[in-house]
A and B are shown apart, each in its own frame.
Chain A
Amino acid sequence: MTREALINLFLFLLLPVTAGAAWLLEEPFIITLTTKVAILALAGVGLNIALGLGGLVSLGHAAFFGIGGYAMGILAAHAQSFDPLMEVTFLIEGTKSMPVIWLVAVIAGALAALAIGALSLRTSGVYFIMITLAFGQMLYYFAISWPAYGGEDGLSIYVRNGFPGLNTLDPIQFFSLAFGVLALVLWFAGRLAAAPFGLALSAARQNAERVETVGMSPYRLRLLAFVISGAITALAGALFADLNRFVSPTMLSWQMSGEIMIFVILGGVGRLYGPVAGAALFILLEHILGGLSDFWHVYLGILLLLVVLFARGGMIGSLAGRAVAHD
């Protein structure tokens, strides 16, 4: 077992052990916090496919996070008001079922990523960062000015959505659900990175010319990576909104994009478990330092600076050393 595999195993167990201990000690707040880590890590795993594997610095992933959030908010709001989404031609009703909401979130996130990616990926470097940021901001202002679903105030859902066989209002059960989704997506992301697609995508990040020369289109590889990335981040958004039973334009803000990116950078860009480590550290800092000072972001900034300057592989990179070939 390599050192990175050991660290990954530790990180994987960290969340359920923490939540389990909190459950035994009857500390529901800690369980909720751990759930938040799992969901934010999931958003980071999504971004990491574009950023880490594909080298696509997207500053617009809040768009997908928010789309997932609003997919949940809109469907659940219609369900709780018994007001169908659409009556003309087809009857589409809202739903309180998580699997359905997730499916809608993933499809909506993927379609949005397809549209945004198809245009943004014609650029690269700083222009790519700016254009993804611009798309994110467009959605943000659209959500603010769209009164049907709460506008600036957002949408509240009174009762958490349901999952067959579970009581999602019980913190430990909802945690298990969120963690299960994270574990499944981590497994998928790991397979993806080692699969032919991952090999080619990562090669396109290292040297696009090389990939073209062997007859594969970097644009198509990146576009699909962006779509998968957006879909996963949207799924995280739906879960996040369900965790808070609330969705607002904040989920679409560029600060949110920045936070998701911070998880990835803190933990280790391109490392499978990087976002898990990053999100855990972020939430930990938020609660330790946030308790000391309202201006805890200063310390986060310093930490981020140190990581970027001295530990390019993030936490996992500093602990596990250079990435080894999956061979």
Chain B
Amino acid sequence: MTDALLQIKGLNKAFGALVATDDVSLTLEPGEIHALIGPNGAGKSTLIKQIAGGLKPDAGEIRFNGQDITALSTVARARAGLGRTFQISSLAMEYTVLQNAVLGALGHRGTVWRFFAPVMKNADLRAAALTALERVGLADQAGKRTADLSHGQRRLLEVAVALTLHPKVFLMDEPMAGLGASGSKRLTGFLDGLRREAPILLVEHDMDAVFALADRISVLVYGKIIATGTAQEIRAHPEVREAYLGDEVPA
């Protein structure tokens, strides 16, 4: 447990009387995909927001790579190596696909304070951006305006931008949403390999993907983690079946 890259201890967050995060503790170990599932409104996105920054927990601690990052800004956390993708695509819509990816590569290089050389002619940044786009299968869309992409393609671009950051940990909030069956399958295969580069904390509604990918699954209900375990353990867990999976156990 001590070598966990990401370690969350006793996290609490309430909005008035609504407890969105109730004493949540979880870890992300190198090489694993840790899926976070739970019904709508269980507080998954609220939890991700607290881990990525942008939402301050009321209590608890977030340790990343041995360092307490609870008080750090979103920017500092990103620079420390947290690579996040958003549930609702959060991209620069006027930009081309390539420009969005170059923006990520630029963030990773930390060379934003340059005022003369055209950024889109920078071979190094372009190569980094194109590599990431190729990996998610968006290279042929590089010149397209992001606003003209389909929802599924935007999700892939989110992932590509996260790749350009070469993060130590991925935080992915429903990357499969809107991808369709074949797209989901493709991304599932990709994430399967990605865990070797950096572990993934994966929020996902696509149960096929979750059960296919996750080394461990945590189930969040009303802000509380009611169970953590392997896919097998979670499938068999009575409380989970009652609270979330219902009677239908996914194959």
Contacts and interface: CB of A to CB of B under 8 A. Distances in A.
B103 A214 contact: yes
Nearest to B117: A195
A211 interface: yes
Contacts of A69: none
B63 to A, nearest CB: 19
B116 interface: yes
Q: How big is the A interface, by class? A: 20 to 34
Interface of A: 191-192, 194-200, 202-203, 206-207, 209-217, 221, 224, 323, 325-327
A327 B119 CA distance: 9
7 contacts: A195-B118, A196-B122, A203-B92, A210-B91, A212-B74, A213-B90, A214-B164
B92 A206 contact: yes
Contacts of A200: 103, 106-107, 112
A221 B98 contact: no
Given A212-B78, A214-B108, A215-B78, A192 B115 contact: yes
Contact of B116 (A191, A199, A214): A191
A199 to B, nearest CB: 5
Given A206-B94, A325-B95, A325-B99, A214 B107 contact: yes
B176 interface: no
A208 to B, nearest CB: 10
Nearest to A221: B112
Nearest to B171: A213
B84 interface: yes
Contact of B115 (A191, A202, A213, A214): A191
Given A195-B118, A197-B112, A214 B161 contact: yes
Given A192-B116, A214-B104, 19 more contacts: A191-B118, A196-B112, A200-B106, A206-B94, A206-B95, A207-B90, A207-B91, A210-B91, A212-B74, A213-B86, A214-B161, A214-B165, A215-B78, A215-B108, A215-B165, A325-B143, A325-B145, A327-B98, A327-B143
Contacts, number: 113
Contacts of B78: 212-215
- List 6 tightest A-B contacts by C-beta distance, closest first: A214-B107, A215-B78, A206-B92, A215-B79, A203-B92, A215-B107
Interface residues of B, number: 43
A26 B117 CA distance: 43
Interface of B: 52-54, 73-75, 78-79, 84, 86, 90-96, 98-100, 102-104, 106-108, 110-120, 122, 143, 145, 161, 164-165
Contacts of A198: 119
Nearest to B74: A212
Contact of B114 (A197, A202, A325): A197
B110 A199 contact: no
A327 B99 contact: yes
Nearest to B114: A196
Contacts of B86: 209, 213
A134 B230 CA distance: 59
Q: Looking at A195, A210, A224, A325, which has the most chain B CB atoms within 10 Å of its CB?
A: A210
B74 A203 contact: no
A327 B111 CA distance: 19
Contacts of B107: 200, 211, 214-216
B87 to A, nearest CB: 12
B103 A195 contact: no
A210 B104 CA distance: 9
B94 A323 contact: yes
Given A196-B106, A214-B107, A326 B93 contact: no
Contacts of A214: 78, 103-104, 106-108, 161, 164-165
B212 to A, nearest CB: 27
Contacts of B98: 327
A199 B99 contact: yes
Contact of A194 (B75, B103, B113, B120): B120
Given A210-B90, A210-B103, A325 B75 contact: no
